[in-house]
Each structure stands twice: as structure tokens, then as C-alpha cells.
Amino acid sequence: MTKKISDIPKLDRPREKLQHKGSEALSDLELMAILLGRGVEGHDVLSVANRVLKVMDAANGRPTLDELQEIEGVGPAKASLIAAALEFARRRIRPEGLKISFPPDVLPLIRHYGDRKQEHFICISLNGANEVVAHRVVSVGLVNKTQVHPREVFADPITDRASAIIVAHNHPSGELKPSKEDFDITKQLKAAGETLGIKLLDHIIFNQKEYYSFLEKGIL
């Protein structure tokens, strides 16, 4: 259950926390709460922000104005503000072209998913120079399990004309130890990539602070 602003000590509230610790210290939920400003009657700003994040994740970060306005507590003004902020960030901050020297270099692109309550399976497409072409959420699962199939993972990299991919997913529990399913999907993706000519460079499991790399552990 999402806390209410009134339940949080004043210095730990999103706006005050940003002023004292900087924007990097805030979670996605806290950043969205600042963008929204305030909630509406019956809906605290954090609960509205949480709903916005879910819609954004389902839309791969590109929700329409109509989708945003379907959220209770988000009217035309707030929906326009969110859409404008997302588009501005896309224009000014482009991960495309980021050079990857070692697979964990992708962590800054995906670390913000580390605090999510569901598993998010992410695929990063790389060109022949190991530069990021695109990164996308392929699947959103349950609290401790996400379902993903190789055809879903490779669909966009094929369109991207990617030479390689790095896949990653968060563990909401914070535990980084791979499950049997994690080993199985890694094996399937490696085999599929060999068939398609798109190499699987790494599978990374991460939380907000740490990560587990299949490559570093000698599994890939």
C-alpha cells in the first residue's frame, strides 16, 4: 500500500528530500509526485503518482494524453504536464549512442526500475560498435515472476538491426540470486540469439543498489 504524504516525516517528503539530497536520491514515485504537485480529494498525490507509473510502464514510457486522463486524479492540465516532461526528457537525454564497454554499463539506464513492486524484463539493443540503439520493457510480471518468450525479446532488436542485446530484470524482493526460471530463460535467449545472429551479451538481475551478472559469474 502506498504511503500518504502526511504519513512521511517532513524532511523525507519528495520536495524537501529533493532540496536536501538532490534529484538523484528520489525514486520514480517521488519524482512523479513532485511533477503532479498535489493529489485530489480522496486520492493522495503518492497514490496518484503510483497509478501514473503503472500506466507509463504499460505504455513503455509513452502514455497518451487519453491514457493519462483515465487515471483518477489526473485531469487535462496534469496529463499535459506529464506528457511535456516526458517528451522534453526524451529530446534532451538520449541513451541512444551510449557506448557500452562492459554489460553493467547499462545499469544507469535501468536502475530506476529497481524499486518496482513487479518484475520488469528489459531488453537493450546494441549495434556493432556496442552502442545503445534502444532499450525497452518487454514484459511486466507478478511480484516475483515475469513471463517472457524469446520471440517477444527479439522482436524489436530484429527491427533495430541489433548486433547484440543485454537483458535485465529487477527482483522486487531485493534478493539477487537467480531462480531456475532465470537460468532457463537465459539459456533459451542465448540459443535463440545464436540462431538469429544477435548475441546475448549478458543477463543482469538488479535491485536499487546491487546487481548480478550472468557474464561476470561465467554463465554466459
Residues contacting residue 153 through CB under 8 Å, at least 6 positions apart: 121, 123, 138, 165, 167, 189, 192
The DSSP output letter for 99 is B
Closest CA to 130 of 192, 201, 191, 189: 201
pLDDT at 211 over 70: yes
In our burial notation (b when 16+ CB lie closer than 10 A, e otherwise), range 137-155 reads bbbbeeeeebebebeebbe
Phi and psi angles of residue 126, each rounded to the nearest 5 degrees, phi first: -125, 145
Domain map (residue ranges) of the chain: 5-92, 103-213
User: To which H or E segment does residue 58 belong?
Assistant: helix 45-58
pLDDT one-digit tens code per residue, 29-79: 899 999 998 877 778 899 999 999 999 888 877 899 999 999 988 999 999
- Which CATH number describes the domain made up of 103-213? 3.40.140.10
The DSSP output letter for 12 is G
pLDDT one-digit tens code per residue, 117-142: 889 999 999 999 999 998 899 998 86
Give Cα 99 to chain centroid, integer Å.
Answer: 19
Please state the length of the chain.
220
Residues contacting residue 136 through CB under 8 Å, at least 6 positions apart: 60, 122, 123, 156
Distance CA 117, CA 20 (A): 26
Q: What is the mean predicted confidence (pLDDT) over 213-218? A: 95
What predicted TM-score, i.e. pTM, was given to this entire model? 0.67
